[in-house]
Chain A
Amino acid sequence: MSPARAHIVGVGESAYARWGKIGEVSEHALACQAIQRAVADAGLSMDDVDGLASFAEDRNEAVFLAAELGLPALRFGNMVWMPGGGGGCAAVSNAAMAVETGQAEVVVVYRSLCQGQFYRFGSGGVSTDAPADPPVPSLQQANSLLMASMGFAMPYGLLMAAAAYALPTRRHMHLYGTTSEQLGLLAVTFREHASRNPRAVMGGRPLTLEDHQASPMIADPHRLFDCCLESDGACAVVVTTEERARDLAKRPVEILGSEQGAPRGYAFGPFTNANIPDALYATGGGEEMAGRLWAKTGLSPGDVDVAQLYDHFTGCVLMQLEDYGFCQRGEAGAFIESGALAWKGGSLPTNTHGGSLSEAYIHGLNHVVEGVRSLRGESTSPVENAEVCLVTSAACVPSSAVLLGRK
Chain B
Amino acid sequence: MSERYFPDTMPPPMADGTSLPWWKAAAEHRLVVQECGACQVTRLPPSPVCPDCRSDQFGWREVSGEGEVYTFTRVHRPLGAGQAIPFIIAVIALDGSGGLRMISNVVEIEADAVAIGMRVELVWEDMSPDLAIPRFRPATN
- Chain A residues in contact with chain B, CB under 8 A? 124, 126-131, 134-143, 145, 147-160, 163, 166-168, 170-171, 174, 216-222, 264-265, 272-275, 281
Q: Is the CB of B11 within 8 A of A124?
A: yes
Q: Is the CB of A163 within 8 A of B128?
A: no
Q: Is the CB of B105 within 8 A of A171?
A: no
Q: Is the CB of A151 within 8 A of B14?
A: yes
By a CB distance below 8 angstroms, the chain A residues around B19 are 142, 148, 151-152
B131 at interface (Cβ–Cβ under 8 A)?
A: yes
Return the 5 tightest CB-CB contacts between A and B, nearest first.
A130-B81, A166-B73, A137-B127, A142-B14, A274-B101
Report how far A149 CA is from B18 CA in the complex, Å. 11
Q: CB-nearest residue of chain B relative to A129?
A: B81
B139 at interface (Cβ–Cβ under 8 A)?
A: no
Q: Is the CB of B82 within 8 A of A130?
A: yes
B44 at interface (Cβ–Cβ under 8 A)?
A: yes
Q: Please name 23 pairs of A and B residues whose Cβ atoms are closer than 8 Å in the assembled complex, sorted by A.
A: A130-B82, A131-B81, A137-B131, A138-B130, A139-B14, A140-B12, A142-B14, A148-B19, A149-B45, A150-B14, A154-B13, A155-B133, A156-B103, A159-B79, A170-B73, A217-B74, A219-B74, A220-B73, A220-B76, A264-B51, A274-B91, A274-B103, A275-B101
The residue that A128 contacts in the complex, of B70, B80, B133, with Cβ under 8 A, is B80
Report how far A170 CA is from B115 CA in the complex, Å. 10
The CB with the most chain A CB atoms within 10 A, among B6, B80, B127, is that of B80
By a CB distance below 8 angstroms, the chain B residues around A129 are 81
Q: Is the CB of B23 within 8 A of A139?
A: yes
B119 at interface (Cβ–Cβ under 8 A)?
A: no
By a CB distance below 8 angstroms, the chain A residues around B14 are 139-143, 147-148, 150-151, 154
Quote the shortest CB–CB distance from B119 to chain A (angstroms): 16
By a CB distance below 8 angstroms, the chain B residues around A141 are 14-16
By a CB distance below 8 angstroms, the chain A residues around B100 are 274-275
With A151-B15, A220-B74 given, name 12 new contacts (CB 8 A). Answer: A126-B9, A130-B81, A151-B14, A151-B19, A152-B44, A154-B14, A156-B105, A167-B71, A167-B73, A170-B116, A219-B77, A275-B101
By a CB distance below 8 angstroms, the chain B residues around A166 are 73
B 90-133 to A, binary, CB cutoff 8 A, 1 in contact else 0:
01100000001111110000000000100000000001101101
> Could you count the A-B residue pairs with CB atoms below 8 Å apart for me: how many are there?
162
- Chain B residues in contact with chain A, CB under 8 A? 6, 8-16, 18-20, 23, 43-45, 51, 70-83, 86-87, 89, 91-92, 100-105, 116, 127-128, 130-131, 133, 135
By a CB distance below 8 angstroms, the chain B residues around A145 are 16
By a CB distance below 8 angstroms, the chain A residues around B80 are 126-128
Q: Is the CB of B75 within 8 A of A160?
A: yes
The CB with the most chain B CB atoms within 10 A, among A152, A163, A273, is that of A152
By a CB distance below 8 angstroms, the chain B residues around A126 are 9, 11, 79-80
Report how far A148 CA is from B14 CA in the complex, Å. 6
Q: CB-nearest residue of chain B relative to A168?
A: B71
Report how far A169 CA is from B50 CA in the complex, Å. 29
Q: Is the CB of B116 within 8 A of A171?
A: yes
Report how far A45 CA is from B15 CA in the complex, Å. 48
Q: Is the CB of B75 within 8 A of A157?
A: yes
Q: CB-nearest residue of chain B relative to A149?
A: B45
Q: CB-nearest residue of chain B relative to A154?
A: B11
Report how far A138 CA is from B132 CA in the complex, Å. 9
Q: Is the CB of B11 within 8 A of A155?
A: yes
Q: Is the CB of B105 within 8 A of A157?
A: yes
Report how far A127 CA is from B10 CA in the complex, Å. 11
Q: Is the CB of B43 within 8 A of A139?
A: no
Report how far A275 CA is from B44 CA in the complex, Å. 7
By a CB distance below 8 angstroms, the chain A residues around B6 are 157
Quote the shortest CB–CB distance from B45 to chain A (angstroms): 5
Quote the shortest CB–CB distance from B75 to chain A (angstroms): 5
Q: CB-nearest residue of chain A relative to B73?
A: A166
Supposing A138-B130, A148-B14, A275-B43 touch, asked if A167 and B72 sit within 8 A by C-beta, the answer is yes
The residue that A140 contacts in the complex, of B13, B71, B92, with Cβ under 8 A, is B13
Supposing A128-B78, A128-B81, A170-B116 touch, asked if A136 and B8 sit within 8 A by C-beta, the answer is yes
Quote the shortest CB–CB distance from B11 to chain A (angstroms): 4
The CB with the most chain B CB atoms within 10 A, among A142, A143, A168, A273, is that of A142
